[in-house]
Amino acid sequence: MDFPRDYDEEYFEQLDGEEKHLDGSFHPIRTRVEALDCRVYALCAGDVWLDAQLERVRRTYRDRGASAVQVQQITSRHILERIAAEYKVRE
């Protein structure tokens, strides 16, 4: 993962503020772990958004007459590459 250079030591200590136990549960080893929580929430939100975009694009292709095989071949990678291409055009 990439992080901005101006993040302080406290941020990274919070990222490492929980430990995983043998039963699979996580337990805080520091008082503050907000940075870790926010990072996890942001990653989850990104996954939900990407899944919604993938379904939207697949639905559009289905509506335009694409076969089931063609629709299934559309992946998250296609969506991310499309976004990257649009971003480069705007630069």
What pLDDT, on a 0 to 100 scale, did the predictor assign at position 88?
A: 82
pLDDT value of position 55: 96
Across the 91 residues of the chain, what is the mean pLDDT of every consecutive 10-residue run?
Answer: 90 93 94 91 96 96 96 94 85 62
Helix or strand run (H / E) with residue 28: strand 26-28
Every domain of the chain and the residues it spans: 9-90
Q: What is the pLDDT of residue 23?
A: 97
Q: What is the pLDDT of residue 1?
A: 80
Alpha-carbon span 13 to 29, nearest angstrom: 10
The pLDDT assigned to 86 comes to 87
